[in-house]
Structure formats: structure tokens, C-alpha cells
Structure 1
Amino acid sequence: MNKHCTADFQIVAEQALANTARSPDSLVSIFPSNPQLSQVFQFIETNYNQPISLSDVAVAVGYCAAYLTDLVRRNTGYTVNDWIVERRMVAARTLLLETDQCVSQVAQAVGYQHEGYFFRQFRRHHGITPKAFRKTQRS
């Protein structure tokens, strides 16, 4: 995703989170409300903290990966992998701000097996490193 798409995606996800957070009975979620994709988003929500991929999601919901990619992109404008990364980034931001876990622990907690990959994803997504994010947000 380029920087403009990442910013737009983050805005959409934050608006969805804000809208669902208003209702105490609803599952607080970054995902759009779409009955056709509810199983996809539920699987991501339940498993984002594990190493999951597009093929894992596709198997879980009973679609081939290519069809699922097209379906999700057509309905949301983003790919399954984009949604997995966005859900992980929401959790990572929360952990960085609300805990003193080191970056490698945060990476593991949100489903990344390799700290370096998490670091690159976080920087690509936010334009800042996880440590710098924590420092600037806490000061």
C-alpha cells in the first residue's frame, strides 16, 4: 500500500472503530459491517495474534484465496492481508501505549514471528518506528 492508501485505510478503520465503540453491546471492531464478509472478519479478529495468512482465512471460510481476495477487495477496497495487518497494527499501538512490553514482545503478541518484519510493517504503516511511536505518544 502506498502512503495515501495507508492513510485512507487507517481513517476508515478508525471511523469504524469509533462507530462501533459507541454501542456498549457491540463487539468493538475496526471491520466494516458486511454480512457477506462477517466470517472473514471474525476469523481475523479471533486469530490476528497468530501467524495467519490469506490462505488460512480462505480455508476457514470455505473460499479459494483468489475468490476471497476479489470478494473482500470489491466490498471494502482493501485486501484480506491489508485487514490482517490493520488489525495487528491497532493491537500493536494499544500494547505500545498501555504496556511496557518490549517491541519483540509486542510483535509476538500481535502475530508476528519476526521482530524485524513487524518493525518494517509498523514503520510502513505509521511512518515511524514502534519505539519512536511509543516515545512520542507517551510524552
Structure 2
Amino acid sequence: MKKYNTAEFQPVAEEALSNTVKAPDNLLSIFPGNPQLSQVFQFIEANYNQPISLYDVAVAVGYCGAYLTDLVRRNTGYTVNDWIVERRMAAARNLLLETDQCVSQIAQAVGYQHEGYFFRQFRQHHGITPKIWRKTQRS
């Protein structure tokens, strides 16, 4: 992952925030419109397709990892990693529906370095494999 300098991180103006933030790929963002966490969600949105961690997000927004974990969990009920995974799953579902890319291509496109790990996480979140999910959603 490229180093992310916090000086380069431009928060969205408060008036641009609504209940949801538009994702670059025109998906409705899965993130809540919480102004206190907007930088966190913007960083995840901009970088979910790369291998990022809690540490990367914390550095980008200027918090230590432990504080950021507590802040996000208190405000949303979920961890930073949960939000990263959920954004990746939303992008994966979109690619499964809208493209004919194979599962390994989709896994890489949404930030997973290992297809097997993507497969396991998808199955945990959806109860079925990506291929079966695609087939059932398209029929």
C-alpha cells in the first residue's frame, strides 16, 4: 500500500455529508453519516481495494489504534475492521452482479490478496459461496 500522508487527506465539507456518502463507484455507501467519523469512512472508501488495516486508518486520521477502535465501536457498534470488510463485501456483491469477472479477479479488485480468504469471508457474511450467490441473484 502506498504511504498515506495525513496532510494529503482532505475531509469532506460538513454540508456535503448526508445520511449516506456517495461511493466513487456510484454505490450508495454503507457508511453512516456520522460527522465525527467521516474521515475514517472516507479513508476506508478511498482505500478498501488495497490491503489496509486498523493501523493504516488510524495513521490517516491522526488517532492511535486503540482510541480509534473504541471511538468507532461506541458510535457504530462495529469495529474499523468490520467496516473495511463490509465495504469490500458491498463492492464484491456489485462486481458479482454487474460483471462476469471470476471470483479471484473480484477478490483482488476489492482488496484481498488471497482468494481463499475472500472466499471464507464471503461465506461467513452471506452463508454461501460467491459463485452460488451470483447465480441465485442473477436468476
Same fold? TM cut 0.5: yes
Deviation of residue 28 (structure 1)?
A: 3.2
How many residue pairs end up in the alignment?
Answer: 117
Distance 2:106 2:97 in 1: 11
- Name the structure where helix makes up a greater proportion of residues: 1
Post-superposition Cα deviations, 1:50-93, rounded to whole Å, max 9, x if no partner, equal 01011100010011111000000000000000000000000000
Post-superposition Cα deviations, 1:79-124, rounded to whole Å, max 9, x if no partner, equal 0000000000000000001100000000000000000000000000
Distance 1:68 1:20 in 2: 21
Corresponding letter in the other structure for 1:47: N
Distance 2:118 2:71 in 1: 27
Deviation of residue 20 (structure 1)?
A: 3.9
- Match status 1:58 vs 2:49: no
Corresponding letter in the other structure for 2:61: V
Give the equivalent residue in structure 2 for 1:49: 49
Q: Is the 8 A contact 1:72 1:79 kept in 2?
A: yes
- Match status 1:122 vs 2:122: yes
User: TM-score, with normalisation over the residues of structure 2?
Assistant: 0.81
Give the equivalent residue in structure 2 for 1:11: none
Give runs of aligned pairs for residues 8-87 of structure 1, distance below 5 A. Answer: 20=20, 28-87=28-87
Distance 2:138 2:29 in 1: 24
User: TM-score, with normalisation over the residues of structure 1?
Assistant: 0.81
Q: Is the 8 A contact 1:20 1:27 kept in 2?
A: no
Give the equivalent residue in structure 1 for 2:96: 96
* Percentage identity across paired residues of the two chains: 89
Distance 2:49 2:42 in 1: 13
Q: Is the 8 A contact 2:103 2:115 kept in 1?
A: yes
Unpaired segments of 5 or more residues in structure 1? 1-18
Report the RMSD for the aligned CA atoms in angstroms: 1.7
